[in-house]
Amino acid sequence: MNIDTQVSPIEASTHLEKSVWNKINRLHIRKILAEFSHERLVFPKLIENKDDWGIYQLSSSDERNIYQFNAKILALNHWYIDTESIEKIVDGTPSPLDSLSFIIEFKMELGIPEASLPVYMEEVCSTLAGSAYMNYYGKPNSKELLKADYQQTESSMTGHPRFIANNGRIGFDSSDYRQYAPETAEPFSLVWLAGHRSTAVFTAVPNLDYQKVMLQELGEQTLKNFNNQLIQRGLNPEDYFFIPVHPWQWFNKLSNIFSADIATNRLVCLGYNEDKYQPQQSIRTFYNISNPEKFYVKTALSVLNMGYVRGLSPKFMLTNPPINEWIYNLVEEDNYLKSKGFIILREIASVSFAHQYYETAIANDTPYKKMLACLWRESPAEKISGNQRLITMAALLHIDNEGKAYLPELIKASGLSISNWLKQYFSCYLSPLLHCFYKWDMVFMPHGENLILILEDHKVVNAIMKDIGEEVSLLNTSLQVPDAALRLKVDVPEDRKTLPLFTQVFDSIFRFISAILVEHADFPEDQFWKLVAECIQDYQSENPEFSESFQKFDLFVTEFSPDALNKLQLNNNRQLRNRANPFQDLPYIGIVENPITPFAIN
């Protein structure tokens, strides 16, 4: 980081003000109590019922620390907690709410390995500091977000709804945070390198070659400038591929760890390009705000964030474009998905540069093998027309700094009833996921950050699925797939094939939407789940050719047990899932009743 971009020592901590700290710790404790109780890591006891609320207490194992709060338990063991009711008593004396103290007090119940505890606590610290920043400096409120553009909405989000430590970003310092975190919304340029083709590998979808990508992304003048830099060094530009990298990655990792390649001109730094980018919620994907029609850029970023060091595998980069093209063609040629307006945002090109020493020395997977790669993805700006606009689906779960939910404001602005708005949303989002599952045994990771919604007059008219190459799986499929897509095939027990839908859709999205509508719009949760059931039944009646699969992989079973995401992170905060089989050896939250079962048609 250059000294002129650094914040002052005082400015680095200005947002850590006592009243703000108290507020965000109370909100975070609410989330801890709700999600750890949801996953049955802790077990609050019902003391009494009062005015439709249950009064609960949770005691630490030594019984010195007692948390008391009012809650309602909704479908899927979702804990709707009254934020202001939370109290902490230590040895009989009221005590401030403090998230880090909670982690320490309940570390035995959480089962976190001793070696992982310090890093997990650091991730919690970082998550709290980020929340304090957003509360201190402010963001658009929910009504204002109705008029916000895609990037304003993106930068206002507060992270994954389930993970307690959801904004760790271990590796960023205070200056890095201000410049590179999504919520700071600070545009920056990417650093470009030239990687020698003896090591660098480029791949793309058909009809898109390296030169086309470079001309679009850099333009003739910058491309000429970069070529001239190589020529002035006595190097042949035809021997190199150009690679954009995150500035933090260059200054903190690549310029040191790839020093042998730099010294021998296998890797040459060319400097910044002119376009400005804004980071997305995933922190390593960047939207070109200078030219929104240009590609998304996703780069390796060796910071620890929510269960992974966020590198990019050169092996995966090699196959991502052909995988994306294959899935894109499946979707484009399917009449049902066409009718639903379901869109695949393709990852259309990639370039990577493997570290030869680590590749030679280490047989197993390691973040050191994933430090230098880039993926280009289509821009969602090219998918809208007229008065349409884009929002991240994460916005449907957003609560602003004033405690107001975005979703009820969005529905109100649409002029539709809550039920009719939800029907349209389910049709665009849930129906395509059902079709891909029942037709091809294909499941996505369709969480809020991975979905972009196209809105027209505040109504959902299309769903755009992204992050295809790394987060799509084919379950026990008999589908003929190209060689590049063979890594998508995973074997799972037949009785667990529906769990990705129950975990990713029911438990990770719908559970929260339903609770928000209960809390902020007084919309009955039974009515919400009835609409989910009707969407599934509509799909089944429209696609009778899959009737056998509907019975075999029944979404109306009486109960199921979703994945426990916090348990995953607590068990291993550097790798949540095995990428080769993301459904293997997972912890579960325990049995929950299926909220759509009462609406099954016999």
Q: Which CATH class name applies to 387-599? A: mainly alpha
Confidence band for 470, pLDDT divided at 50, 70 and 90: confident
Residues 6+ apart with CB under 8 A from 69: 30, 33, 44, 55, 56, 81, 82, 85, 86, 87
**Listed residue (374, 379, 48) closest to 216, CA to CA:** 379
Q: How many CB atoms lie within 10 A of CB 251?
A: 15
**Where is average pLDDT lowest: 10-14, 327-331, 394-398, 543-547?**
10-14
Distances (CA, A) of 19 to 22, 99, 136, 592: 5, 15, 10, 38
121 touches 32 (CB < 8 A): no
User: In the predicted model, is pLDDT for residue 2 greater than 80?
Assistant: no
User: In the predicted model, is pLDDT for residue 1 greater than 60?
Assistant: no
pLDDT of res. 197:
98
d(CA 15, CA 274): 31
User: In the predicted model, is pLDDT for residue 365 greater than 70?
Assistant: yes
On average, the pLDDT of the chain sits at 95
Residue recorded with tokens 């007084």: 522
Residues 6+ apart with CB under 8 A from 446: 429, 433, 465, 504, 505, 509
- Convert the pLDDT of each residue in 482-503 to its tens digit: 999 999 999 999 999 999 999 9
Cite the DSSP H helix spans in 454-524: 468-471, 499-501, 511-521
pLDDT of res. 574:
78
Mean pLDDT of all residues in 439-455: 96
* CATH 1.10.510.40 intervals, the chain: 387-599
pLDDT of res. 3:
41
HSE-CB of 144 using CA atoms within 13 angstroms: 11
User: In the predicted model, is pLDDT for residue 578 greater than 90?
Assistant: no
For helices 511-521 and 525-542, give the axis angle rounded to 10 degrees.
140
45 touches 38 (CB < 8 A): no
Confidence band for 354, pLDDT divided at 50, 70 and 90: very high
Q: Which H/E stretch holds residue 287?
A: strand 285-288
**Listed residue (91, 141, 105, 92) closest to 29, CA to CA:** 105
User: Which token pair is 496?
Assistant: 């667990």
Q: Which H/E stretch holds residue 48?
A: strand 45-50
Predicted TM-score (pTM) of the model is: 0.96
- Convert the pLDDT of each residue in 152-179 to its tens digit: 999 999 999 999 999 999 999 999 999 9
Q: What 3 state SS string does 127-147 have?
A: HHHHHHHHHHHCCCCHHHHCC
- Convert the pLDDT of each residue in 203-241 to its tens digit: 999 999 999 999 999 999 999 999 999 999 999 999 999
Distances (CA, A) of 436 to 479, 486, 503, 556, 564: 12, 17, 16, 18, 24
Distances (CA, A) of 85 to 23, 29, 123: 13, 12, 26
Mean pLDDT of all residues in 119-146: 96
Residue recorded with tokens 């809550």: 418
Q: What 3 state SS string does 72-126 have?
A: EEEHHHEEEECHHHCEEEECCEEECCCHHHHHHHCHHHHCCCCCCHHHHHHHHHH
**Listed residue (439, 385, 388, 451) closest to 157, CA to CA:** 451
d(CA 564, CA 35): 10
- Share above pLDDT 70 across residues of the chain, in percent, rounded to a whole number: 98
CATH number for 11-151: choose from 3.30.310.280, 3.90.1150.10, 3.40.50.720, 2.40.37.10.
Answer: 3.30.310.280
Cite the DSSP H helix spans in 243-349: 247-249, 255-257, 259-263, 314-332, 335-340
3-state secondary structure at position 209: coil
Q: What 3 state SS string does 379-443 have?
A: CHHHHCCCCCEEEEHHHHHCECCCCCEHHHHHHHHHCCCHHHHHHHHHHHHHHHHHHHHHHHCEE
User: Which token pair is 106?
Assistant: 């309940």
Exposure letters 405-427 (e unless 16+ CB within 10 A, then b): bbbbbbbeebebebeebbbebbb
d(CA 85, CA 136): 23
Please indicate whether residue 203 or residue 578 has the higher confidence score (pLDDT): 203
pLDDT of res. 63:
92
Instruction: Put residue 138 in one of left, alpha, beta given phi > 0 → left and psi -120 to 50 → alpha.
Output: left
Please calculate the CA angle 116-122-126 and round it to the nearest 5 degrees: 145
Distances (CA, A) of 307 to 66, 304, 560: 30, 7, 25
- Convert the pLDDT of each residue in 38-88 to its tens digit: 999 999 999 999 999 999 999 999 999 999 999 999 999 999 999 999 999
pLDDT of res. 39:
98
User: In the predicted model, is pLDDT for residue 14 greater than 60?
Assistant: yes
User: Which token pair is 319?
Assistant: 């196959």
**Where is average pLDDT lowest: 6-10, 39-43, 89-93, 473-477?**
6-10
pLDDT of res. 5:
57
* CATH 3.30.310.280 intervals, the chain: 11-151
User: Which token pair is 104?
Assistant: 């320490």
Please calculate the CA angle 153-158-162 and round it to the nearest 5 degrees: 130
Please calculate the CA angle 218-471-595 and round it to the nearest 5 degrees: 135
276 touches 282 (CB < 8 A): no
